[in-house]
Structure 1
Amino acid sequence: MATESRPDFPSGAPYYLLNFERALAWLAERYDDLLDADEHAFLRAFAGLPPASRALLVRMLMRKGTLFRASQLRYDEIGCPLQAAAPLAALGWVDTEPGLSLDDLFALTTRAGLLEIFADETKRAPGFKALRKPDMLAALRVFYEAGDVGDERDENVSAEGAEGAEGAEGAEGAEWAVDRGERDAEVSAFERVAVAVSVSVSAARSSKRPLSAWHAATTDSVLRVVIAPLCDRLRLMFFGNLYQEWSEFVLADLGVFQYEKVAFAPSSRAFQQRADVDVYLALHACREALDSLPQLSSLPGDDTELAAIDALVAAVRRIDTSNPWLETRRAKLLFRIGQHCERRLQWPAALAVYAICAWPGARHRRVRVLERSERFGEAFDLATQAAAAPESEEEAQRLARLLPRLRRKLGEPTVRAAAARPVERGMVVLARPDAALPVEYVARDHLSCEAAPVHYVENALINSLFGLLCWEPVFAALPGAFFHPFQREPADLHAPDFHARRAPLFAACFAQLDSGAYRDTILRHLNEKAGLQSPFVFWGLLTPELVTLALDCLPAAHLKLWFERLLRDIRGNRSGLPDLIQFWPAERRYELIEVKGPGDRLQDNQIRWLAYCVEHGIPVRVLDVRWAEEGPLSGVSAEAAEAAEAAEAAEAAEAAEAAEACDATIVARTAS
């Protein structure tokens, strides 16, 4: 199918059009059997359009939204946007006189333009002119209801507005002024403006109208991209997701993003059947519906919102698929619905959703919701069952913290965990810097010296060394892993069988840690792959000097321990590593340092990494920073100081408990 650009541009076809046509050719080659009649027709018709029309459509598709002012579509290679849009309109792909809602109008118009459009409102209500744009919209929206507003309702609104305005007209002029320094005064003025605005709005309003009906004096036009949903579907089939835009081509051409070239077969693609595309889009629509739920009601437990949640869950469950990847997306969506219910204190709804959700963490959330619902017996039974076979180190850690609390609430004796090696913890008092700097940087500068330099690395260094050593397994051209040239990671990176599918490749990389060959491999990839997108490598932090120093001081045995834990749970273990690393090059040794400023506490993933390092003899410590002028805990009461000290002690104990729980999980997995 011909999709190449014709040489009708004086200086050649623009880069974005060539890239879009390259994507269409790619889709025609790989997805011909999944495209329907409309999509085939689009590919044919697009190739036959005038060059300016093709360029205009792609320009609009690359921008956010589907509504555009013609005055904002001026490009030298396109010329007059209305002339270029005419062939698109003839095909029904673009609407040159779309109806605009009030929200659409506000999104397309500057504040100055809105004051011109609503000049009558400005005259009737002087306070209207002083309102911020969001408040102007709120003041007007109630009088421009979307949907089929009947005449009776229009008359009622107008009558109410007229009645309120009669009292308003006799008000002092000062009462209309908006005091921007006082929010209460602004709200009061906003309410009065809304009353006055109601008088100036015609009872014959409609929910949507062309721009010329909103603003008779305008010389501008608005274009709406009607074909956008079909093009979004094509974009989904090309990228395998909807978060990547057509601009990926441009960013790659400009060198902003560079990608590894994976030699995958033409048969490798994101979707194997059209139904999978439909399922993805259906799940995406449900996710958008979830995002709109907070707009339904500001009150938790409102009947309207509860009904919407029930309908949303039912819609998600009705989506039929046997595709494991799409089942994972469904599980993640259900988990987010459960989280929404928790935030809204809707405990029964949250329980019902978590009960049918297979996303990691759903079982723990069920226990927490049961606890919040004061159903302690059920919570304890489920937590005990989960503790016998935890799904991850994270769940084991949370259950170890939760079970003693449930035992106390049930009046049962608590079972004390076996003591584990504590994490070393110290404190340093430093002068607060004049410039605002992260506390980690201040600690780094304090500790660093010529003989023992300190680097701020957090998650970057260990992840990067792993990514550089294991570059080949990560970017292996396995079926379903890669299917377009703009992937920074394999599609199955977080799949349960990610490691298993590449086990021999990872084993070969880890064997280099035993043979000593790992150093050359890491340095070679550091040079050859520089700048290429990777889910593990932080190019902005890496320098040849840092990598060389790390390889000199980090034992291969410790690298292997870190890499093995990363590979066990990539999603959970890529973060939580200590902030700083200090090297002693002359002694070829190092130490990891987690920095905590005043009021900071260790996060769960940090506690798990600290516990793992302590258990395996990896040098690590926690450093608490206090500011000299404040004292160790100045500015707080004695009770608060004691509480802070107790919290630090609890963190140390929790890290020890986490070590036991993590080791138990590892042993259980190894045994199975």
Structure 2
Amino acid sequence: MPNQPTSPATANQPAPFYYLHNFRQATTWLRQRYADLLNDEEQVFLTCFDALPQASQALLVRLIMRKGPHFRSSRLNYPEIGDLDAAAAPLLELGWLDDCHPLGAAELGTLLRRDEIIALLSPAPELRTLRKPELVQRLSTATEARGFHQWCPASPERLLTLRIGDLCERLRLMFFGNLSQGWEEFVLAELGIFRYEQVALTPESRGFSCRLDIELYRHLHQCRTQLEAGQPCLEVLELLGQQEYANPWLRSRHDRLLFDLARQLEREADLQQALALYARSGWSGARQRQIRILEKLQQHEQAWALVQDSLDAPESEAELQLALRVQRRLARKLGQPAHPPAVDGITTRLDLNLPGPHALGVEAAVREHLDSPQAPVHYVENSLITGLFGLLCWDAIFAPLPGAFFHPFQSAPADLHSPDFQHRRRPLFERCLVRLDSDAWQHSIRRTWQAKQGIQSPFVHWSLLTETLLNQALQCLPPAHLRAWFLRLLQDIRANRAGMPDLIQFWPEQGSYRMIEVKGPGDRLQDNQRRWLEFCHRHDMPVAVCHVQWANP
């Protein structure tokens, strides 16, 4: 490869062309894994990029990594690149940059300072009192777009416009498999800010298997962006169209988008349109939203039919919980037999009257009140159980299965929330969980905690899972309870990783514990918390609900 830049030197002193080195790594990766999917434009780009002088390569990569597409030359100060005009010349010749791009007044306004805009306007006393948007509005009287030097004939600088942003976005999508990550991931990893598990990747490790999937992903991303920008839902729907999605991963993204569109229409009281979209969406919770709308529309028999479907085949514990609640409500209206109300398990109740409110919240107040050297209390909400699971099952979570990992900057497998996540790894998880049947589980968790310290994980929050907390947990938590928690987590990772009790108290000398859910004045248990408490009750796990009143509010 011509003009091969040097690698970054150290984390504290990166080599001058570290960013170019990173970009070339990415293009090599793309050639290895996507040669069959690259279109003509992308192949030409990669070939021509390699033939550029190093300074031109570096300038292009700098611009790709910055927010654009327009860049004033006075703000492009890169000593390692040298003469900016010389570096830009080959890029202008290829048409990748443009120095004559027509700008509207609004675009120009984003590039100029307030005083520079005033200098372009006819002198008027009130200009100094106007805000920048008002000054830009004055420029807008010139409706035609024009080049930078036509707007600013006295300016000595050039304006460079990146014209291949769309192409570079496609390359970034192919490399990362998403558009939420950017090229800065290389730098963050080199500086040690983020560390990732080194999963074995092969030339077949990639996020997309066909060109259509790439284009469909970008289409869904465009529709999502418009929805989040406040575009009317019906316009987004028209843009979305009726495309079929054979790829399960993309179909899931499509279903989520339909769900969010329906939710927005529901907020806007367009209930019929929302109802139709929920029916099209296969996203979790869509059936319950349909039931809610049918109740609002007083279409009780249709709602009853969907409730029965939910009871016969609930998609989750959450849906079953909500369906039972609605069934009793509808039964009264339709004269149907109702399911008896669910009886909450008998959970220990603590009532505390504490001085407060506490500056750090009600959980901190309870922790400080109950904590003692013989019975330490930790704030662990949703972090201890998931952390122990992540440590014990590290090898299963980061197994290099097809479609799970396809670039070096993944903190979790791509199919983490897929319905078949556990099924695809069943033997691997069984191999991890069987350690709970002997003393091996404690050694395994400690070894992983030490070896993987600081590596990104979807389950382990290193700052919260301290060595002290880890040692007390391993000493006091029965392996049978850990197995039950881990299996429940695997049933529905997205839903069951939340709702766990806030605090845990250990008695190391006795090797026992209790979990504590804290509720401040006027606070009530949420549905996911009730499900966790009921689960603990069924498995004889010690848990208490602590209700706090402030002594001096």
Could you state the TM-score of these two structures normalised by the residue count of structure 1?
A: 0.77
Q: Secondary structure at the match of 2:447?
A: helix
- Give the distance between the partners of 1:473 and 1:201, measured in 2 at CA: 59
The match for 1:266 among 185, 203, 228 is: 203
Per the alignment, residue 188 of structure 1 pairs with none
Name the CA distance, whole Å, in 2 between partners of 1:397 and 1:113: 62
Secondary structure of the equivalent of 1:18?
A: helix
Matched AA of 2:419: P
Superposed CA deviations along residues 296-332 of structure 1, whole A, max 9, x for unmatched, are xxxxxxxxx464154145x2x22x4321111111111
Paired residues of 1:424 and 1:620 also in contact (CA < 8 A): yes
Contact 2:8 2:21 in 1 (8 A): no
**Aligned with residue 335 of structure 1, among 255, 259, 267:** 259
Which structure 2 residues correspond to residues 461-500 of structure 1 after superposition, within 5 A? Answer: 461-500=384-423
Deviations 1:169-221 (A, max 9, x none): xxxxxxxxxxxxxxxxxxxxxxxxxxxx6xx863x522x33334444444444
Tell me the distance in 1 between the aligned counterparts of 2:448 and 2:375: 27
- Contact 2:7/2:18 (CA < 8 Å) preserved in 1? no
- Would the aligned equivalents of 1:289 and 1:312 in 2 still touch at CA under 8 Å? no
Following superposition, the deviation at residue 111 of structure 1 comes to 4.5
| Alpha-carbon spacing, 1:216–1:428, altered in 2? closer, same or farther (3 Å) | farther
Matched letter for residue 215 of structure 2: D
Pick closer, same or farther for the CA change 1:73–1:408 going to 2, 3 Å. farther
Where does 1:614-653 land on structure 2 (aligned, <5 Å)?
Answer: 614-630=537-553
Alignment of 1:248-647 (within 5 A): 248-292=185-229, 294-295=230-231, 305=232, 307-313=234-240, 315=241, 317-318=242-243, 320-410=244-334, 414-432=338-356, 436-630=359-553
Per-residue Cα deviation, 1:529-559 (whole angstroms, up to 9, x for no partner)? 1111111111111222211110001110111
Q: Is the 8 A contact 1:70 1:82 kept in 2?
A: no
Contact 1:66 1:228 in 2 (8 A): yes
- For 1:349, give the aligned amino acid: Q
Name whichever of 324-333 and 410-419 sits farther off: 410-419
Pick one of 92, 98, 107 that aligns with 1:104: 107
| C-alpha distance in 2 between matches for 1:514 and 1:34 | 48
Q: 1:78 aligns with which of 81, 91, 102?
A: 81
Alignment CA distance shift 1:433-1:321 (3 Å)? closer
Aligned residues: 549
Letter in structure 2 aligned against 1:311? E
Could you say which residue in structure 2 is the equivalent of 1:5? 4
Unaligned runs of 5+ in 2: none
Cα offsets for 1:401-441 (capped at 9, x unmatched): 2222333444656542253423333332222267x323222
1:457 shift after superposition: 1.1
Q: How far has the Cα of 1:484 moved from its partner? A: 1.1
Q: State the one-letter code of the partner of 1:205.
A: T
Q: Which residue of 2 aligns with 1:186?
A: none
Structure 2: which amino acid aligns with 1:267?
Answer: E
Moved more, 407-416 or 570-579: 407-416
* Matching residue of 2:170: 233
**Structure 1 pair 279–593 and aligned structure 2 pair: CA distance change class (3 A):** same
Secondary structure at the aligned position of 1:360 is classed as coil
Give the Å deviation of 1:479.
1.3
Distance 1:268 1:8 in 2: 24
Q: TM-score, normalised by structure 2?
A: 0.93
Deviates more, 1:498-507 or 1:378-387: 378-387
2:118–2:127 Cα contact (<8 Å) kept: no
What amino acid maps onto 2:143 in structure 1? Answer: R
Match of 2:95 in 1: 92
Name the CA distance, whole Å, in 1 between partners of 2:39 and 2:473. Answer: 54
The range that moved more, 462-471 or 590-599, is: 590-599
Corresponding residue for 2:57? 54
Partner AA of 2:160 in structure 1: L
Q: Distance in 2 between matches of 1:117 and 1:591?
A: 71
Cα deviation for residue 67 of structure 1 reads 2.7
The C-alpha deviation readout for 1:437-481, integer Å capped at 9, x for no partner, is: 232222211221111111111111111100000011011111111
Counterpart secondary structure, 1:623:
strand
**Inter-partner Cα distance in structure 1 for 2:387 and 2:6:** 45
Highest CA radius of gyration, 1 or 2?
1
Q: Within 1, Cα distance between the matches of 2:449 and 2:342?
A: 43
Task: Name whichever of 84-93 and 464-473 sits farther off.
Answer: 84-93
Please state whether the residue corresponding to 1:629 is helix, strand or coil.
coil
**CA separation of 1:587 and 1:240: change in aligned 2, threshold 3 A:** same
Query: Taking structure 1 as reference, are residues 601 and 418 closer, same or farther at Cα in structure 2, changes over 3 Å only?
Result: closer
In 1, Cα distance between the equivalents of 2:470 and 2:440? 15
Q: What is the distance in 2 between the residues matched to 1:123 and 1:277?
A: 54
2:179 maps to a residue whose letter is: L
Give 5+ residue unaligned stretches, structure 1: 142-196, 296-304, 631-672
More helix by share: 1
Secondary structure, aligned partner of 1:583: strand
Displacement of 1:240? 0.7
Matched, 1:28 2:31: yes
User: Root-mean-square deviation (CA), in Å?
Assistant: 2.5
Residue 205 (1) aligns with residue 207 (2): no
Q: 1:644-663 counterparts in 2 under 5 A? A: none
User: Any idea what the Cα deviations from partners look like across 1:474-532, whole Å, max 9, x if unmatched?
Assistant: 11111111111111111111111111111111111111111221100000000111111
Query: Within 1, Cα distance between the matches of 2:464 and 2:72?
Result: 42
CA shift for structure 1 position 108: 3.1
Alignment correspondent of 1:659? none
Q: Provide the C-alpha distance between the structure 1 equivalents of 2:114 and 2:350, rounded to a whole number of angstroms.
A: 55
Alignment correspondent of 1:650: none
Instruction: Name the % identity.
Output: 48
